[in-house]
Amino acid sequence: MRADIKTVLFDLDGTLIDHFMCIYRCYRYAQEKMGLAPVSYEKVRSTVGGSVRITMGHLMGVENAERGEALFREHFNEIMLEDLHALPGAKWLLQQLQARGVRTAVFTNKHGIGARKIMAHLGFDKYLDEVIGTYDTPWRKPDPEFTQYALETMKADAESTIMVGDSPFDILAGQVGGIRSYVVATGSHSVEELEAIDPPADGVYRDLHHFAEEFLGLPRTPEAVEK
């Protein structure tokens, strides 16, 4: 395990969890309620990022974004624990980091209250020091104030902190705070797409196991395959 890393900020969707089907159902619910033509799961998955309202604007038009967001959140509060899966390596990696004294947090553009419920439901909360989401502050990734808030909450310095995510928003969220950013291709972007992002991430990996082995130097143990 690298000795220079004291704190790890993890994105949530596409990094620690697969929640895309639930998210898709909420966008579909909003579209149906508003009488709009539904878009495909693939389209939603490739468009998600930044915030619900931004994604709504891309999918349904800016003029429908505010109403669409309200409907999305209405349905999400009802089904947030459905179609929810931990990504391979997520629990194992959090356990490994905790055992080595590394502080960890979820740092997400998901609503903070929902993110904390999801982490508790999966049993991940016992391995995390903090879960930081939107509406905990006025900001969201990649606002520099949000990254600074995360560092202050974790009592961490940028030099010994890294960001692990799956999207350009995660890369930027790290960079605006002077934090090294690493991304995994388990969200909306392939390895090739992540490698083409400019400004680039400090590293691109297939998944959390690949990141843990190649960057952190944590060998994959037999129990890691199950987690």
Distance CA(122)–CA(91), nearest Å, equals 9
Distance CA(61)–CA(68), nearest Å, equals 10
Q: Please give the pLDDT value at position 224.
A: 58
CB atoms closer than 10 angstroms to residue 225? 11
Q: Are 191 and 211 in contact (CB under 8 A)?
A: no
Q: Please give the pLDDT value at position 181.
A: 98
Q: Please give the pLDDT value at position 50.
A: 77
Domains with residue ranges and CATH for the chain: 7-18+85-225 (3.40.50.1000), 20-79 (1.10.150)
Q: Which residues of the chain have pLDDT under 70?
A: 222-227
Q: Are 38 and 60 in contact (CB under 8 A)?
A: no
pTM of the model: 0.93
Can you spell out the DSSP letters for 70-92? Answer: HHHHHHHHHHTTSS-EEPTTHHH
Judge residue 94's burial from the number of C-beta atoms within 10 Å of its C-beta, 0-12 exposed, 13-18 middle, 19 or more buried: buried
